[in-house]
């Protein structure tokens, strides 16, 4: 079964989608990510879709779902790297990717997550005990 | 003006994985006629929506990919033909937000917005045929 790798980076989970998505792959990612948020106690999820040449309504919905699911598990989701043509198509299709934050690239996405979640200091002790 | 078919190719869709292959074929055809990136993306996204409908509601079907021209304009025509249950009420199915499945109901109306020409014919119990055209400059 094909799966998209999920990397843990400090308090965040990092997903870089490098292959064309089909529906099963997207739903697997959704389930894996939510599970990973639970097991790692991650506070943020960063999804890089810069390699995706198309995002249709199903994939858009999965991305939105991931954001909503992570949210109720106390994690913020940022989607980065949306190609201009994909952005145009998504809006014309009628999908606004509600429920997820977006940023232009990975660097800005990381910054946004840091801002959303706040300084690490207060939770350092809890973090080190869980990992 | 008459539409002339310059090239024709058919592809069977019976599994989810066929979708990726199919999208790549559409991309190849669109690249060949030098369709711009935004129009290519719209066409492939529309194609992806329609092929999912075909898989979900009719367990697959056959798609014809054609390079067409009308006057000086080139474009891609895609015909999605299935032998599924058909659509009872097409105007309703074309409304934003309507879905009999679990989707957002953006598929058909969203697809129509993304392409230059859109036609749907359906006979209940026999099947559905959707035809879309994306012109290079449209």
The B residues from 27 to 86 touching A (CB cutoff 8 Å) are: 27, 37-38, 40-42, 44-45, 48-49, 52
Please report, for chain A, the start and end positions of each structural domain, with discontinuous segments joined by +: 6-107
* One-character DSSP codes across chain A: -----EEEETTEEEEE--S---HHHHHHHHHHHHHHHHHH--SEEEEE-TT-S---HHHHHHHHHHHHHHHTTT-EEEEE---HHHHHHHHHHT---TTSEEESSHHHHHHHHHHHH--SGGGHHHHHHH-
Alpha-carbon span A46 to B81, nearest angstrom: 39
Grouped pLDDT means (10 residues each) for chain B, 138 residues: 92 93 95 96 96 92 97 96 91 78 69 95 94 93
Identify the CA nearest to A52 among candidates B36, B44, B32. B44
Q: What are the Cα distances from residue B13, in Å, to A97, B23, B105? A: 29, 11, 22
B18: helix, strand or coil: helix
Contact (CB, 8 A) for A83 and A51: no
| Ramachandran assignment for B105, one of left (phi > 0), alpha (psi -120 to 50 degrees), beta (any other) | left
B10: helix, strand or coil: strand
Q: What is the ipTM of this complex?
A: 0.87
Assigned CATH for B4-135: 3.30.565.10
Please report, for chain B, the start and end positions of each structural domain, with discontinuous segments joined by +: 4-135
> A6-107: what fold?
Transcription Regulator spoIIAA (3.30.750)
Beta-carbon contacts of A84 under 8 Å, excluding residues fewer than 6 positions away, are B38
Alpha-carbon span A3 to A19, nearest angstrom: 10
Q: Closest partner residue to B107 among A22, A55, A57, by Cβ? A: A57
- Rg over alpha carbons for chain B, rounded to the nearest Å, is 14
**What proportion of chain B, given as a percentage, has pLDDT over 70?**
93
Alpha-carbon span B41 to B35, nearest angstrom: 10
Contact B41 A93 (CB under 8 A): no
Q: What is the pLDDT of residue B54?
A: 93
B114 neighbourhood in chain A, CB within 8 Å: 89, 92-93
pLDDT tens by residue, chain A, 131 residues? 678 999 999 999 999 998 888 888 999 999 999 999 999 999 999 999 999 999 998 899 999 999 999 999 999 999 999 999 999 999 999 888 888 999 999 999 999 999 999 887 555 555 554 44
Contact B41 A58 (CB under 8 A): no
Task: Please state, as a whole number, how many other Cβ atoms lie within 10 Å of the Cβ of residue B50.
Answer: 28
A57 neighbourhood in chain B, CB within 8 Å: 49, 103-104, 106-107, 110
| Secondary structure (H, E, C), B32-96 | HCCCCHHHHHHHHHHHHHHHHHHHHHHCCEEEEEEEEEECCEEEEEEEEEECCCCCCCHHHHCCC
B24 neighbourhood in chain A, CB within 8 Å: 20
Task: Please state, as a whole number, how many other Cβ atoms lie within 10 Å of the Cβ of residue B64.
Answer: 15
Contact (CB, 8 A) for B88 and B124: yes
């Amino acid at each position: 079964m094909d799966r998209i790798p999920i990397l843990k980076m400090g308090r965040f989970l990092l997903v870089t989608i490098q292959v064309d998505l089909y529906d099963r792959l997207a739903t697997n990612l959704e389930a894996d990510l939510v599970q990973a948020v639970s097991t790692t106690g991650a506070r943020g999820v960063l999804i890089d879709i810069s390699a995706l040449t198309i995002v249709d309504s199903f994939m858009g919905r999965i991305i939105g779902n991931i954001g909503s699911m992570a949210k109720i598990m106390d994690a913020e989701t940022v989607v980065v790297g949306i190609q201009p043509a994909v952005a145009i198509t998504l809006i014309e299709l009628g999908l606004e990717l509600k429920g997820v934050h977006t940023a232009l690239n990975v660097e800005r996405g990381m910054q946004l997550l840091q801002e959303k979640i706040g300084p690490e200091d207060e939770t350092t002790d809890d973090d080190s005990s869980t990992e | 003006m008459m539409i002339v078919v310059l090239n024709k190719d058919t592809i069977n869709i019976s599994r989810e994985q066929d979708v990726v292959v199919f999208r790549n074929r559409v991309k190849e055809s669109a690249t060949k006629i030098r369709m711009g990136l935004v129009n290519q993306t719209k066409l492939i996204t529309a194609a992806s929506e329609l092929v999912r409908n075909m898989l979900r509601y009719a367990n697959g079907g056959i798609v014809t990919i054609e390079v067409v021209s009308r006057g000086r304009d080139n474009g891609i025509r895609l015909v999605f033909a299935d032998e599924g249950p058909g659509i009872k009420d097409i105007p309703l199915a074309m409304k934003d937000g309507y879905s009999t499945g679990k989707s957002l109901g953006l598929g058909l109306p969203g697809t129509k917005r993304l392409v230059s020409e859109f036609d749907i014919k359906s006979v209940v119990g026999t099947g559905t045929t959707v035809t879309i055209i994306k012109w290079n400059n449209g």
